[in-house]
Amino acid sequence: MVYNLNDKTILLTGGTGSFGQKFSEVVLKEHAPKSIRIYSRGELMQLQMDQKFKNENLRFFIGDVRDKNRLKRAMNDVDLVIHAAALKQVPACEYNPIEAVKTNIDGTVNIIDAAIDNDVDRVMLISTDKAVHPVNLYGATKMVAEKLIVQANSYSGGKKTRFSCVRYGNVIGSRGSVIPLFLEQRKSGTITVTSERMTRFWLTLEQGVQFVINCMHEMEGGETFIPKIPSMSLLELAKAIAPDAKIKNIGIRPGEKLHEILLTEDESRHTTEYEKYFVIEPEYVSWQKKSLPGGKKPADDFSYTSDTNSSWLTRDDLIRLVGL
């Protein structure tokens, strides 16, 4: 069931990014929100987004998630918060580690405090597979952000504010995705892959948005939602995008994994599996928590990884999704 966004005031951090733009497009088209507040640092991107949408229900707030006072003002009378703002580029986070911590961790703390102080109904963090067994600083900060959001329910206490997470893999065509890089490289006749064995989970921006909206309906507070999505090897991805191009193997980059993990064996012990997604329930519950109905327990040694996935994208699937 889809969460009713009609007449709701939504705050979207990092709202000018790929997810924020698609979320705004989908919600304004399929729902009737009272307002979507775009909260981000870049005035130029806000101007461009305003000119693109031309919708009076879209409002723009210049602000940084590091600024708690600004967040508190922006969350005044807000019903829902979707926290998508983050420093995401792995090399940039490694080179500027303290800045990554200030935005991805301290910024999440500010989101929690501002939401509770404003009696926001629901807060959803957009997380990433990089948060699972992190091998780089970006992943480590998102792992901490997940745990902060889950346990923020204990700070909310008797208040109505509830916090949950959505964790998924690579988004087709988003900023930083390898697909735009491959599309550009095929002009030269050579595509570079870091490993021919490498696999990744994939979903479209629209699928990501719809999953977040659905989870806003399901959440009770403290869950981490993981969609069941297909995998594809990087080699097959390259061949699908540029079948006639030469493939050059350049080796795995620092801070990169060979395969992705969305759900670990340890997490599976407190996970429930549903038809289209998994739900990781919190291990430490100090608040009144309802368990989601239905579902089944996965095997004790189950893990959800991109190389052992039961669902795989075909070349035709990718061409259809990317619009090649």
The single-letter code of the amino acid at 236 is E
Between 86 and 243, name the one with better pLDDT: 86
Is 190 within the bounds of a domain? no
pLDDT of 290 reads 82
How many C-beta neighbours within 10 Å does residue 129 have?
25
For this structure, is 159 an active site residue? no
Nearest of 259, 265, 287, 288 to residue 278 by alpha carbon = 265
In a domain, 142, yes or no: yes
pLDDT on residue 174:
66
The average confidence (pLDDT) of the chain is 92
Is the residue at 62 inside a domain? yes
> Which one has a higher pLDDT value, 23 or 323?
23
What is the domain extent for residue 123?
9-170+202-229+262-305
Q: Which range has highest mean pLDDT (184-198, 259-273, 308-322)?
A: 259-273
Strand 190-193 relative to strand 199-204, pairing: unpaired
Say which CATH number the domain at 22 has: 3.40.50.720
| Position with higher pLDDT, 3 vs 73 | 73
CA distance 31 to 5: 6
Residue 100, helix vs strand vs coil: helix
- The answer to the question of residue 185 being in a domain is no
Q: Does some domain include residue 108?
A: yes
Cβ–Cβ contacts within 10 Å for residue 284, how many?
Answer: 9
**Hey, what's the torsion of the CAs at 16, 17, 18, 22, to 10 degrees?**
-30
Give the range among 25-29, 170-174, 185-189, 232-236 with minimum mean pLDDT.
Answer: 170-174
Q: How many residues does the chain have?
A: 324
Q: Which of 130, 160, 248, 276 is catalytic?
A: 130
The total number of structural domains that make up the chain: 1
- Which pLDDT band, with edges at 50, 70 and 90, does 187 fall under? confident
pTM for the full model?
0.94
